[in-house]
Amino acid sequence: MSHLLESHRLLEGIDSTSLRFKPKTDEPIETMLALSRHLRALNRIEVIELRKRLNDKLSFKLMYLSVLAAEKSLNSSPLGWLHAAVAAHALEGMRMDYRENYLRLADIAHAARKAGVSEARLLEPFNEQLDDNERGLLWRGLAHGNGRKIEIQDGIHRFAEAHR
């Protein structure tokens, strides 16, 4: 199956998954990890085609999954999970209000710093998929974010809940 068709299939799976509450399994973020691997194999035109599938609800799901992937990177094999987190934003293309992306990118950047991974290394797999403007927005979101406090719950590192 082509990378584009598989990306559409995985995106459809994410779209049909309820993320109203934090998932009890890793299946949604594992789907995001698989999607990130296929996304890296796509060219810019194919990514633009894939973005046509996005709506506000799906964009927010991708951003939420990016934070869960960043959180997962705090506990195991950080680079793959961090790439999955960035892939969500590369695919989303900053089509929502960029501040929504920056809130999540701050957590990704925080997790990357803890893992010793630079912003350049996070963005490198997606150079072909992003135009200069998108790359610049992602770079700024990663470079200027501090992220939330990291807590340890039951031996697992997690981002602290935001207080309302």
What pLDDT, in 10s, does the model give residues 107-120? Answer: 999 899 889 999 89
Please calculate the CA angle 19-86-41 and round it to the nearest 5 degrees. 105
Question: Predicted confidence band at 163 (pLDDT cuts at 50, 70, 90)?
Answer: very low
Mean pLDDT for 3-18 is 96
In sequence order, the β-bridge partners of residue 152 are 157
pTM summary value: 0.89
